Amino acid sequence: MAARAAYYLSTPIYYVNDSPHIGHAYTSLACDVLARFMRLDGRDVLFLTGTDEHGQKVAKSAVAAGMEPQEFVDQVSERFRALGEVMGYSNDDFIRTTEARHTRSCQELWRRISDNGHIYLGKYAGWYSVREEAFYAESDVVTGPDGDKVTASSGSPVEWVEEPSYFFRLSAWQEALLEFYEKNPEAVAPESRRNEVISFVAGGLNDLSVSRASLKWGIPVPGDPDHTMYVWLDALTNYISGTGFPDTECDLYQTYWPADLHMVGKDILRFHTVYWPAFLMAAGVEPPTRVFAHGWWTIEGEKMSKSLGNAIDPHHIVARYGLDAVRYFLLRALPFGSDGDFSHRAIVGRMNDDLANDYGNLAQRVLTMVNRNCGAAVPEPGPFETSDRTLLDEAESLPGKVRADLSRQAFHQALIHIWEVVGHANRYVDEQAPWVLRKEDPARMATVLYVVAETLRHLAVLTLSFMPASSGRMLDQLGVAQEARTLAALGPEGRLAPGTALPKPEPIFPRFVEDSPVS
């Protein structure tokens, strides 16, 4: 059993200036599968997502759109909520950095850091990229084709900024951070990212500018309203705002903080594994247990980019392939943490081979026989033979494997383990040939069909978090009651009750048939 019943996980809060694309969908999807699985496993889950709505870039976009900033962010934040509905996310809360609860949380975190002596007023002078919300050293800036200064790495225009600024004494936290990584080997994943972070911190840290005097669209610095909090301090704090901070005595905070998992894309690894733990330690707050940085998607082999205009809109692929197929593909296509390629050919392969042929057809072939030959009810099994026991044992050992896989965010491995049983079950059906037994030994046929149905029950419950709708339909077809759809109900105690009436089965996972060529 889990050492702790509560489980708190978060997506990053998404920057409202971006249009939702497959990358956002992917991060949240990974969290959603974990959240659903943990709930099935009896955990008390808090799954938080939301939007990041402050910053100079947002303010400029609002102006460009002819709107007040708040009006603008209200509108664009809604797109991320809509994405959640399309993708079927089960988040418990949706936080926005423009909410009062967040402002209060941010300002209190600042106060604590400041009271502990880790913030000082200095002067910032340097190149600043509005587009990237980031500062650049002189060495990273080059003169662009138009004579403007741009960053060497991305070509974003930069402007010279010189103003008073509050600084966070990040440089003082090097040793504490290294010790934190050392004592908490699970705190940064995957392993390769952990190495990167350690090597970055070991290379020395500079103090961090955490306020902007020229920026108005943000949270005012406590005690100095001329300054606005730097966007990353603002954004990261959402994770504790969502647990009721600064009311550290409230149930929410007591139950869920520190977070069990912050899921992030690899681009924001450093903010989450260096700055964020340092901010929290400086404020006397415990840092999160684990940060997992996943990889990027390419599209048909091409890097996703604005200039190529090939960013995938989740709404389109869900409309084309179906939600559950998309959910399955995104988590099965590659080892979680690696980069992957989204291609039409690949997703169709997974849909037809794994879902329709292997899994869906297994259910269909067995349930059809049950429907026609067992009075459309769960058959009454006789004594189990070795082959029956072998399959059932394997199905019953699956929850443990999947739980272990998902505890380290190995989604693909969990699915591989589940599909090993799908394959086993198909072979079992062929070997037992219930269509022959139907004439020669109906009692044995009933046992065989029962064993497969029971195996399907395990498979469907375990795929429920990945493909909620399809797996739910399969459980409907197996006559499994809603309250029995939990990991606790798996195993011998929760076996299907013989005699339970079953509906006429319908195919669950459709094959993807290519459109006929247009002449």
Partner RNA sequence: GGCGGGGUAGCUCAGUCGGUAGAGCAGUGGAAUCAUAAUCCAUGGGUCGGGGGUUCGAGUCCCUCCCCCGCUACCA
Q: Which CB atom, from 38 or from 326, has the smaller least distance to RNA? A: 326
Helix (H, G, I), strand (E, B) or coil at 144: coil
As measured in angstroms, the least distance from the Cβ of 152 to RNA is 6
Do the Cβ atoms of 16 and 76 come closer than 8 Å? yes
Query: 228 has which bridge partners?
Result: 212, 220
As measured in angstroms, the least distance from the Cβ of 460 to RNA is 12
Q: Which CB atom, from 315 or from 365, has the smaller least distance to RNA? A: 365
How deeply is 96 buried, as exposed, middle or buried, from its count of CB atoms within 10 A (0-12, 13-18, 19+)? buried
As measured in angstroms, the least distance from the Cβ of 161 to RNA is 20
From CA 278, how far away is CA 285, in angstroms rounded?
10
Do the Cβ atoms of 218 and 69 come closer than 8 Å? no
As measured in angstroms, the least distance from the Cβ of 54 to RNA is 23
As measured in angstroms, the least distance from the Cβ of 48 to RNA is 26
Q: In what order do the strands lie in the sheet with 291-294?
A: 93-96, 44-52, 6-15, 261-265, 291-294, 188-189
Q: Which CB atom, from 95 or from 274, has the smaller least distance to RNA? A: 274
Q: Which CB atom, from 120 or from 435, has the smaller least distance to RNA? A: 435
Which residues, at least 6 apart from 493, have a Cβ–Cβ distance to it below 8 Å? none
Pairing of strands 44-52, 93-96: parallel
Q: Which CB atom, from 279 or from 428, has the smaller least distance to RNA? A: 428
Looking from the CA of 9 toward its CB, the CA atoms found within 13 Å total 27
As measured in angstroms, the least distance from the Cβ of 343 to RNA is 9
Q: Which CB atom, from 243 or from 455, has the smaller least distance to RNA? A: 455
Number of helices and strands in the chain (H, E)? 20, 18
Which residues, at least 6 apart from 376, have a Cβ–Cβ distance to it below 8 Å? 370, 501, 502, 503, 504
As measured in angstroms, the least distance from the Cβ of 304 to RNA is 13
**Which DSSP state fits 171?**
G
Count the Cβ atoms, other than its own, within 10 Å of residue 108: 19
Do the Cβ atoms of 58 and 329 come closer than 8 Å? no
As measured in angstroms, the least distance from the Cβ of 172 to RNA is 18
Residue carrying the six token digits 């190495």: 195
Q: Which CB atom, from 116 or from 195, has the smaller least distance to RNA? A: 195
Which parts of this chain interact with RNA (CB under 7 A)?
A: 137, 139-140, 152, 192, 195-196, 199-200, 203, 270, 334-335, 338, 349, 353, 356-358, 360-361, 363-366, 368-369, 423, 426-427, 429-430, 433-436, 507-511
Q: Which CB atom, from 326 or from 429, has the smaller least distance to RNA? A: 429
Q: Which two tokens stand for residue 30?
A: 């990974």
